[in-house]
């Protein structure tokens, strides 16, 4: 039998072995925790992705919200009193200019016309008799058979009857017009809406009862609102030839539906209102669009896209790469000459999709840091891991 070791010696050996094991595993844990590449040792640069700034071609546009309005709107109203006998159209159909839409009972107006014609005939007969009498009295006056007063009375009577003829002709014309008004026609060609009356309804000229509304839908107007300062800028750019214009010199406009689809036809900018809204400091601008298939209906919300021109030297940066300082100024981090992060204050007048159009603060060749922005500070040593370049785009500014 081997001699037993003292209890104190065995316990000391066990404790020493346990301490060694703990130190070994603790050392392994530290090595494993430092393994991920995201951590960097003291003084080592931080790896970042950058975008190399280079001029690119950008088409500048301006999106303005607006609504469709009809080219012409004609309210069909009653111009005589009477009962509506017939409605001669289909609601929602296209009607022609001058097409009969309603027929109001013509009987009382036909009778009034015949009465006016009879009155006119009587007045014309009286004129004939009075003129013959005047001629006879003239001869008798020459022979001094009658007094001058008798002749004057005959001449005055003839003139009075001639006035009755003029009045009778006017009465006949009025009665004829009223009879024509019993056939209610469309004042313009277009699409007619819902009928506001039915057969048997009594309409009055004094209240000008609305019967229906006809709207001309080809072409149509698009009315948009724009800041007065922007309108002045657009006028200058159009005069300078920076805006795309048609042969008549009017700026060309595209139309965008609510779902983002672009209308197939291109329109032109017509005019702006002559008054600035004092509350919003904006002006109503009107564009006109062809609408051959009646796809555009009055009241439809759309966006009018005005093509302002193209820039071949535009600088674009991702919106995620731009932050703001305490003053609210847009800023970006770039790789400096000494491979450290450098803060730049930018001028970004508008968005281009998910990018900013930069008007100042960056130049061609600058490397804009696009990731690790939470950890990068001005002066931080950085190492470029990957680079990318901007692509051509279309810039639009929405109001």
Of the candidates 60, 24, 82, the residue with the CA atom closest to the CA atom of residue 199: 82
State residue 206's pLDDT score. 87
DSSP for 292-307, written as a single string: TT--S-TT-EEEEEEE
Residue 322 is classified by DSSP as: -
The CA distance from 276 to 270, in Å, is: 17
User: Do the domain assignments include residue 14?
Assistant: no
Question: Are 255 and 300 found together in one domain?
Answer: yes
State residue 246's pLDDT score. 55
Region of 121 (left: φ > 0; alpha: ψ -120 to 50; beta: rest) is: alpha
User: Do the domain assignments include residue 346?
Assistant: yes
Question: Are 344 and 272 found together in one domain?
Answer: no
Asked if 176 and 110 count as a contact pair (C-beta separation under 8 A), the reply is no
- Total domain count for the chain? 3
CATH number of the domain encompassing residue 341: 2.40.420.20
Asked if 70 and 294 count as a contact pair (C-beta separation under 8 A), the reply is no
State residue 391's pLDDT score. 55
* Beta-carbon-side half-sphere exposure of residue 53 (alpha carbons within 13 Å): 25
Gap between the terminal Cα atoms of the chain: 99
State residue 331's pLDDT score. 94
Name the domain boundary from 295, 310, 325.
310
CATH number of the domain encompassing residue 147: 1.10.287.470
- Joined together, the tokens standing for residue 103 give 């027929």
User: Do the domain assignments include residue 88?
Assistant: no
User: Do the domain assignments include residue 212?
Assistant: no
State residue 201's pLDDT score. 94
Question: Are 172 and 230 found together in one domain?
Answer: no
Q: Are strands 46-52 and 382-388 parallel, antiparallel or unpaired?
A: parallel
User: Do the domain assignments include residue 13?
Assistant: no
CATH number of the domain encompassing residue 274: 2.40.30.170
Residues of the domain holding 287: 62-70+217-310
pTM for this entry: 0.61
Task: Write out the H or E segment, with its range, that includes residue 103.
Answer: strand 100-104
State residue 245's pLDDT score. 57
Asked if 92 and 119 count as a contact pair (C-beta separation under 8 A), the reply is no
The CA distance from 82 to 99, in Å, is: 20
Of the candidates 81, 80, 102, the residue with the CA atom closest to the CA atom of residue 91: 102
State residue 248's pLDDT score. 61
State residue 389's pLDDT score. 62
282-299, pLDDT tens digit by residue?
A: 888 889 999 998 889 999
pLDDT lower than 70: segments of the chain: 1-43, 234, 237-238, 241-250, 271-274, 309, 389-399
């Amino acid at each position: 039998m081997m001699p037993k070791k003292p209890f104190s010696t065995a316990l000391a050996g066990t404790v020493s072995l346990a301490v060694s094991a703990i130190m070994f595993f603790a050392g392994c844990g530290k090595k494993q925790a430092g393994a991920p590449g995201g951590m960097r040792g003291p003084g080592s640069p931080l790896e970042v992705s950058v975008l190399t700034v280079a001029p690119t071609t950008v088409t500048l546009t301006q999106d303005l919200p607006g609504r469709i309005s009809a080219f012409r709107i004609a309210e069909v109203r009653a111009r005589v009193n009477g009962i509506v006998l017939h409605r001669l159209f289909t609601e929602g159909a296209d009607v022609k200019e001058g097409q009969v839409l309603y027929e109001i009972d013509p009987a009382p107006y036909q009778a009034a016309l015949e009465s006016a014609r009879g009155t006119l005939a009587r007045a014309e007969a009286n004129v004939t008799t009075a003129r013959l009498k005047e001629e006879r009295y003239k001869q008798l006056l020459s022979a001094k058979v009658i007094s001058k007063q008798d002749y004057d009375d005959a001449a005055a009577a003839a003139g009075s009857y001639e006035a009755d003829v003029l009045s009778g002709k006017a009465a006949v014309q009025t009665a004829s017009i009223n009879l024509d008004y019993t056939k209610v026609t469309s004042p313009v060609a277009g699409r007619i809406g819902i009928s506001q009356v039915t057969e048997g309804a009594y309409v009055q000229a004094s209240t000008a009862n609305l019967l229906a509304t006809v709207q001309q839908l080809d072409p149509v107007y698009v009315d948009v609102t724009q800041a007065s300062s922007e309108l002045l800028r657009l006028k200058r750019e159009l005069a300078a030839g920076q805006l795309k214009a048609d042969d008549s010199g009017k700026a060309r406009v595209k139309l965008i539906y609510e779902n983002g689809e672009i209308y197939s036809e291109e329109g032109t900018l017509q005019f702006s209102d002559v008054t600035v809204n004092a509350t919003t400091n904006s002006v109503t601008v009107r564009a006109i669009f062809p609408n051959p298939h009646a796809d555009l209906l009055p009241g439809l919300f759309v966006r009018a896209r005005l093509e302002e021109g193209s820039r071949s030297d535009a600088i674009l940066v991702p919106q995620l790469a731009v932050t703001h300082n305490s003053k609210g100024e847009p800023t970006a981090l770039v790789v400096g000459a000494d491979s450290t992060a450098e803060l730049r204050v930018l001028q970004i007048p508008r968005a281009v999709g998910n990018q900013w159009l930069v008007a100042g603060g960056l130049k061609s060749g600058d490397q804009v840091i696009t990731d690790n922005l939470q950890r990068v500070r001005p002066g931080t040593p950085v190492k470029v891991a990957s680079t990318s370049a901007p692509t051509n785009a279309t810039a639009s500014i929405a109001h």
